[in-house]
Structure 1
Amino acid sequence: MHASNALRNILVATDLSSPARHAVRRAAQVASASRASLTVIHVAGGSVLGELQRWLGQDSATETALLETAQHTLQTLSESLGGHMVQPVHQEVARGPVVDRIIDAANRVAAGLIVIGAHGTGYLRRLALGSTAERLLRRSRRPVLVVRQTPHEPYQRVLVPVDFSSSTNAAIELARQVAPNTPLVLLHVWSVPYEGKLRFAGVSQLTIDHYRRSAREEALQKMHQLAARHQLAVDEWTPCVMEGDVTLQISEQEQEHDCDLVVIGKHGHHFVEELLLGSVTQRVLADAQGDVLVTPSSLDE
């Protein structure tokens, strides 16, 4: 990987729950491996502070104490990472709308990666059910790493579903940034379009099988061209071409190849950013056993 493509700044958001601290430790691992700067942010959501003000008044010392406690907790958490970090760890406590503040901070530090936990006691607790975390994934123009597992070690194998579009290139590039020197499994899933209708129209099984062989051979050829374009050595990647349902194959191949990270692109830009994530991305986020890295179609955004 060229140095110019390395991650320089990483932002990790935490709600200070124990599960969310897994995200902080994973962010620290990635930052250390890439020699990136790490910023840890906690956002005191407007709804929480609003309730405090409603019950205890505008000048409540409880609000101040809450923010001070969060700052102290972040400081302690950052100090616990110190021995593993190449660059200093920065802390930030913000207040207001959670997603807005995370995006503001990511823009301010020019984060090449935002890291969040898949579970938590606060705004990260329901990733696939319309939570704030999903809104962050929809709105962010920056890559977002969703951490599910306790980070005992660096990533060992990365699954990258590919469709040979521009988002495929971004996904491979980002996978190599987040998990340098980690083997990649490049997965392409295809199917015979309108197979039932073709049979109904009298197309022979021999013709359909010929199409299957041709489609597989073409996909493998494109896969090797893709690997060559990204300068992947033979021992740095494994091709995997499967027929069937995309999300089912992603789930099966994640387990078959014992992958602990799935890198997948999201759909939607600009005026459609508030729409749902692509259906495949949503299902992968819901079903994946390991961590999921969601990348925009281009890393230049």
Structure 2
Amino acid sequence: MTDLSARGNRTVERAALLAVEHDALLKIMYAPAARSLRVDAASSLAKLSSEIAARHGVLVKKVTEAAGRLEDVADEARWVDLVVLEHAYERTATAFFHGQPVERLLRLVGCPVLVTRLPARAKYRRILVAVNFTPAAKDLVKLASSLDSAAEVEVFHALVSALTEGKLRYASVSEDIIKAYRQDCVRQAIDGMRWLTDSWDARRDHLRSTIRHGDPARQAATQQQCTMAELLVVGKRKSSALQDFIFGSMAKRVLERSTGDVLIVPHDARASTRAIDTPGSSLAKERMREAPLHIGKEAL
């Protein structure tokens, strides 16, 4: 999706790089910003499509039938594996009560959504994957590791035991018991990281796992900034506008704090539109088990 501005076309460049990596068809849709419909949109979109196809050597299809509304994007998204759009922030009543455009789009589509902030000068070099230890986490790691065969991937988990520790202190539980509880949480997190090793394929040479303590969204965004990861991958449970408005969501809070690109993957994301044969190998699993596991001091 692009509004045909220089900033909006960065999403097209990023999508083109991913299309090259996966030998995929790139579909470009014109999505005008509020009250900024271009009269030359059709010709500009055709020119952009030709330039992208020539520069990257990918098959490009321009989507001109739709008006760029979220409903149009969702309808087109039924036939794609990934939606790429620019990070945009609206200050409207609709955005306040129903969420920003990307949040509303996530309720309509069944595929991952990539929100871009950074210029797409090269392929992703570092990818950070924020995980919990639900069954959906394995699919999240598998997807992240398949995005770019040469990227360094870091699996990140934030321990959220602070609330429980506060309740224990309120109940006058000794510090020794609280420390033991914290260490038990760390051990469970380490076991969870090992459980995720089956998601890595044989191409992955640079693996890293990190555990820290604190709010998952805040810690994930901070870790992305500290490690200079261009992409942060997070999952999102299916929710309503009311639930997101009252309780917020991990994806929403990450988008608010992140300084790089963010890939949001619905927990119930549908299967790819084409079969991808990337079986994990015993060597890859062994590499992951031997990969460094970094545990922040504050987690202990």
* Class of the TM-score when normalised by the shorter of the 2 chains: 0.7 to 0.9
RMSD value, Cα: 2.9
Aligned to 2:28: 40
Q: Deviations over 1:122-156 (max 9, x none)?
A: x9xx8999343332123221110001111111101
Residue 210 of structure 1 is matched in structure 2 by: 180
Alignment of 1:209-248 (within 5 A): 209-231=179-201, 235-248=205-218
Cα distance change of structure 1 residues 85 and 48 upon mapping to structure 2, 3 Å threshold: closer
Aligned to 2:58: 87
Q: 1:10 — aligned with what?
A: none
State the match for 2:116 in structure 1.
Answer: 147
**What amino acid does structure 1 have at the position aligned with 2:176?**
L
**TM (normalized to structure 1)?**
0.78
Where 2:270 maps in the other structure, the secondary structure is coil
Within 1, Cα distance between the matches of 2:127 and 2:228?
9
Work out the CA distance in 1 between the residues paired with 2:227 and 2:34.
43
Counterpart Cα distance in 2 of 1:150 and 1:171: 24
Whole-angstrom CA distance in 2 between matches of 1:254 and 1:127: 27
Q: Which moved more, 1:273-282 or 1:237-246?
A: 273-282
- Residue in 2 aligned with 1:9? none
- Rg comparison, structure with higher value: 1
* CA shift for structure 1 position 97: 6.5
Is the CA contact 1:18–1:120 (under 8 Å) kept in the aligned structure 2?
no
> Residues of 1 paired with 2:23 and 2:57: CA distance?
6
CA shift, 1:233, in A, is 7.3
Alpha carbons 1:157, 1:183 under 8 Å: kept: yes
**Quick one: structure 1 residues 196 and 98, their matched pair in 2 at CA, closer, same or farther if it must change by over 3 Å?**
same
Aligned-residue sequence identity (percent) comes to: 28
Give the match's secondary structure for 1:19.
Answer: coil
Moved more, 86-95 or 18-27: 86-95
In 1, the alpha carbon distance for the partners of 2:110 and 2:204 equals 32
SS of equivalent residue, structure 1 residue 18: coil
Aligned to 2:6: 18
TM-score using structure 2 length:
0.79
Q: Deviations over 1:177-200 (max 9, x none)?
A: 333331111111113242122123
Q: Distance in 1 between matches of 2:33 and 2:179?
A: 57
Gaps of 5+ in 2: 272-300
Mapped to 1, the partners of 2:23 and 2:145 lie a distance apart of: 14
- The 5 A counterparts of 1:136-215 are 136-192=105-161, 193-215=163-185
- Distance (Å, rounded) in 1 between the aligned partners of 2:77 and 2:190: 38
User: 5 Å matches for 1:90-105?
Assistant: 90-96=61-67, 98-105=69-76
**Partner secondary structure for residue 125 of structure 2:** coil
Map of 2:43 onto structure 1 = 72
- Inter-partner Cα distance in structure 1 for 2:64 and 2:45: 8
Measured in 1, the distance between the counterparts of 2:140 and 2:55 equals 27
Farther-moved stretch of structure 1 (193-202 vs 254-263):
193-202
How far apart in 2 are the matches of 1:128 and 1:249? 26
**What is the total number of aligned residue pairs between the two structures?**
265
Higher deviation after alignment, 241-250 or 23-32:
241-250
Deviation, 1:279, is 2.1
Give distance in 2, aligned partners of 1:127 and 1:25: 30
CA contact (8 A) 1:34 1:177 kept: no
Structure 1 pair 243–81 and aligned structure 2 pair: CA distance change class (3 A): same
State yes or no: 1:287 paired with 2:257: yes
Residues 114/183 of structure 1: CA separation in 2 closer, same or farther (3 Å cut): same
Q: Which residue is 1:58 aligned to?
A: none
1:266 maps to amino acid: K
Q: 1:142 to 1:98 in 2, by over 3 A?
A: same
| 1:99-122 alpha-carbon deviations (Å, 9 max, x no partner) | 111111122xx200010011499x
**1:138–1:274 Cα contact (<8 Å) kept:** no
Q: What is the rounded CA distance, in whole Å, between the counterparts of 1:132 and 1:168 in structure 2?
A: 25
CA 1:182/1:211 → structure 2, altered by over 3 Å: closer, same or farther? same
1:6 matched residue in structure 2: none
